[in-house]
Amino acid sequence: MKNVVIIGAGLGGLATAIRLAHYGYRVTIVEKNERVGGKMNIVRHNGYTFDTGPSLLTMPFIIRELFASVGEAMEDHITLVPVDPICRYWFSDGATLDASGNLKNTEEEIARLSAADVEGFRKFIAHGERIYNASAESFLFQPFGSLDIKGILGNLKLLPAVTKLDAFRTLNDAVETFFADPRLQQLFNRFATYNGSSPYLAPATLAIIPYIEFAFGGWYVEGGMYKLAEALEGLATKKGVRIQTGVEVKKIVVERKKAKGILPQSGELIPADIVISNADALYTHKELLTGSRWKFDSTEPSLSGFVMLLGVKKSFTRLKHHNVFFSADYKDEFDVMFNDLKPSPNPTIYVCQTSQSDSSHAPVGCSNLFVLVNAPSLRCPGTDGSPEYLSDWEKEKHEYRNLIIRKLSTLGLGDIEKHIEYEEIITPLDFERRYNAFRGSIYGTSSNSRMAAFLRPPNKSAEVENLYFAGGSSHPGGGIPLVLLSGKIVADMIQQQVGQP
């Protein structure tokens, strides 16, 4: 029986482990933190519960397929609850719009702002559907950049689909052709942030994201999103996967260009026939592999995030489960983050209030607010090639926190400062420290180029035999569905390329 060692117990690592264990491999996961889930994490304090990672689930059929692939029913492990409206959008002029998985309701909301744009919305969603149909089977569900010559030749049949991906103009360029109202342009440009990119730089291929959200709906895991991580941990354990937490990896041991195991920071070599990194792919190349040829200095990280967890002794009846408060100048916001590499002084603010859907997440009459603001990655190459911190978050986080609290207070939430009874701040520096995220980025590399989707770190190493990559920083990308798909891709590749366990 072949031994598999997986670095990291994020959703991608857990999904890969479940499938490989079901195939018959002996699987061990080592995780540096105290619990599984990776960036899908949880904080509990005095009656408040906060999910600190992904807050919205789409494409639930991917989770259902994962359970079914190993003879289990998803419904026996977790309960998915539809969120409607999916999100309430708040614009700088005071207008609001409730986006719903019920397209008729969304069209009515759009008509309140701009009746002429209702038809544009229909065409935009249809455009996203065409991109999905052209890319899902050939790209999202298949390995890319990890193929041998036979696989590359086999993928030549995918070339006609590539021409349908709308990759040669930006998402903003596309959005402006469908919508005249600047507020609606801002709303649909926002979907580029789902993978940490700028709508003014990223390709219009990302129009696939709003289509997926409206077509498959927005979902919440009953009891909290972390219930999904717990369910996958339970399923992995049931399948015989050994999970060791509190184990940080020092390096991947390579002999004659073949992965032979991992060396923990403390402890002896853990031998393996196959090594899978669910850690950040660029971190893996830079810190865990000796002599990697990856060009780190020319790789643009995705956005990071500035997060506040607020336990507030007040109820907010106007807030929905998901809320977005837009800034007045969206383009300037992204220019500051990607060009100046500084936090925006007037940021768009996302607020998730799970206590609106789950009363157990806050004491009676209180609210749990997960507040997220996009933030630039931590470092860029200095003039001498060394990394430089562009923001000293240890010093700046309190001032930036105050700026966001002041802005929320002017956006209809009132004087929330005096009602806060629990607070935690998570900065890009924390993402780097806790999760070994490359330069603090949440989604690995950005999609701010026409070919970015095709240049993500592949699922199989081109330099080291028997080394694979799963998770949001590798193909096919970030977000719960794609991370779980990376686990399927890797497990299937190993089954096909390595053979019998």
Domain contains 377: yes
Mean pLDDT computed over 406-428? 93
Same domain, 276 and 327: no
CA triple 255-258-261, angle to 5 deg: 75
| 161 and 259 assigned to the same domain | no
Are 317 and 435 found together in one domain? yes
Average pLDDT over residues 236-259: 96
CA distance 397 to 306: 8
State which residues form the domain around 414: 304-440
Q: Are residues 140 and 202 in the same domain?
A: yes
Is pLDDT of 475 > 80? yes
Q: Is the pLDDT of residue 141 over 80?
A: no
Q: How many CB atoms lie within 10 A of CB 291?
A: 7
DSSP character for 458? P
Statement to judge: residues 329 and 405 lie in one domain: yes
The DSSP bridge partners found for residue 379 are 389
**152-161, 281-290, 336-345, 457-466: the lowest-pLDDT one:** 152-161
Residue 189 binned pLDDT confidence (cut-offs 50, 70, 90): very high
> pLDDT at residue 386 above 50?
no
Report pLDDT for 145. Answer: 54
CA distances from 217 to 56, 100, 108 (A): 10, 8, 17
* One domain, residues 233 and 319: no
Q: Are 290 and 315 within one domain?
A: no
Q: What pLDDT was estimated at residue 384?
A: 45
Least-confidence region, from 222-226, 295-299, 455-459, 475-479:
295-299
CA distance 333 to 407: 15
Asked if residue 14 belongs to a domain, the reply is: yes
pLDDT tens readout for residues 196-219: 999 999 999 999 999 999 999 999
Residue 153: what pLDDT? Answer: 42
- Whether residue 340 is found in the same domain as residue 370: yes
In-domain check, residue 362: yes
| Residues above pLDDT 70, as percent of the chain | 91
Asked if 9 contacts 242 with a C-beta cutoff of 8 angstroms, the reply is: no
Residues 6+ apart with CB under 8 A from 433: none
Domain CATH code at residue 466 = 3.50.50.60
